[in-house]
Amino acid sequence: MADDNAAQKTLALISHDGKKADMVAFVIEHKAVLSRYNLVGTGTTGKMISDKTGLVVRRMLSGPVGGDAQIAAMVAEGKIEAVFFFVDPLGKHPHDPDIQGLLRICNVHNVPLATNAATAEYIISAQAL
């Protein structure tokens, strides 16, 4: 479970189209823990999570039009403690440079990055945040 200071921490939730159902299922399963965090997401993913779970998600632009870059900037500014980006490894993504930029920024700033549900679950269950 998350620590007592979780309400002050922010998690980013992003998913490719082929993984949006997985992201929503993950959030539903871990809603009690995730409700203690400030959540931010790209446009469509954030809307789906809000609609399906009732959680408040601050929505950035959609990924293909700059949402990934907006979240990368927040990571660089130290405003995000972890990024859960459920990646579809078999899909083509026209905004791949933005995706790669976000992944790079997470690595540069040593921010936990989960690209699938198993890793995200490990991060929140290990009290890493």
Q: What is the 3-state secondary structure (H, E, C) of the chain?
A: CCCCCHHHCEEEEEECHHHHHHHHHHHHHCHHHHCCCEEEECHHHHHHHHHHHCCCEEECCCHHHCHHHHHHHHHHCCCCCEEEEECCCCCCCCCHHHHHHHHHHHHHCCCCEECCHHHHHHHHHCCCC
d(CA 97, CA 63): 11
Query: Where residue 45 sits, what CATH number does that domain have?
Result: 3.40.50.1380
Average pLDDT along the chain: 90
Span 13-20, average pLDDT: 94
In a domain, 69, yes or no: yes
Range of the domain at 49: 6-125
Binned at pLDDT 50, 70 and 90, residue 8 comes out as confident
Span 93-106, average pLDDT: 84
Joined together, the tokens standing for residue 60 give: 């950035």
Q: Name the domain count of the chain.
A: 1
pLDDT at residue 2 tops 50: no
**Catalytic sites, residue numbers:** 68
pLDDT at residue 7 tops 70: no
In a domain, 1, yes or no: no
